[in-house]
Amino acid sequence: MLIIASGFILRVYAGAFAINVHMNVWFLLCVVSLALFLAVGKRRAELAFLQEKAPQHRKTLSVYSNDLLDVYLSMFANSTWLVYALFTFFTPSPIVGTAPLLAEFPLTVAGISKWLMATIPFVIYGIMRYMSIVYQGERAESPEKVILSDKPLLITVILWSLTVIFILYGIKT
């Protein structure tokens, strides 16, 4: 699972290197938590789908029990949304534009905009939805296929993305 997660993390590092950006520690922790959550979800889905045939399909599946993967899944699901929440709180928002609504109802702490905190419910719902798919089995073996094929999860990702874009760039007046 650590090898699977490291693949996700390396992609993020490669992207940051390619665009010459310093990665925020909270963002890195979000990526690590999410990568581990997705990796454990893949393994748990394989066990749920294959059941007793799992060790013949993939030897490493004989090392994991359902109970152990359930604990890991719960642990990384919680760490993912919690670290994301901390990321939204402790990272100053690089607001480029000012949306009229945000200017009228500022959500600030010490003068720093904290509007990204409004995206936390999308992340929590997305994690909950993905976990329910993991326990269904077969569908969760490929996280990218799940996101693109599950309508509620896809809508959540789109709404989260639009909300983040609106918060960061706003509607220039």
Lowest mean pLDDT among 36-45, 77-86, 158-167: 36-45
Average pLDDT over residues 130-134: 88
CB contact set of 147 (below 8 Å; sequence gap of 6+)? 153, 154, 157
Six-digit token pair at 26?
């909270």
**Domain range spanning residue 19?**
2-169
Please report which helix (H) or strand (E) contains residue 112, including its range: strand 112-113
- Beta carbons of 134 and 98 less than 8 angstroms apart: no
**Percentage of the chain lying above the pLDDT 90 cut:** 28
Going by pLDDT thresholds of 50, 70 and 90, the confidence category of residue 121 is very high
Between 4 and 134, whose confidence is greater? 134
Please report which helix (H) or strand (E) contains residue 159, including its range: helix 151-169
Whether 135 shows a pLDDT value over 70: the answer reads: yes
Q: Where are the alpha helices (DSSP H) in 91-135?
A: 100-104, 120-134
Residue 23 DSSP one-character state: P
DSSP string, 29-90: HHHHHHHHHHHHHHHHHHHHHHGGGHHHH-GGGGT--HHHHHHHHHHHHHHHHHHHHHHHHH
Collapsed DSSP state (helix, strand, coil) of residue 152: helix
The rounded distance, in Å, linking the Cα atoms of 171 and 125 is 26
AA letter at 136: Q
- Domains in the chain: how many in total? 1
Q: How many CA atoms lie within 13 A of 21 on its CB side?
A: 12
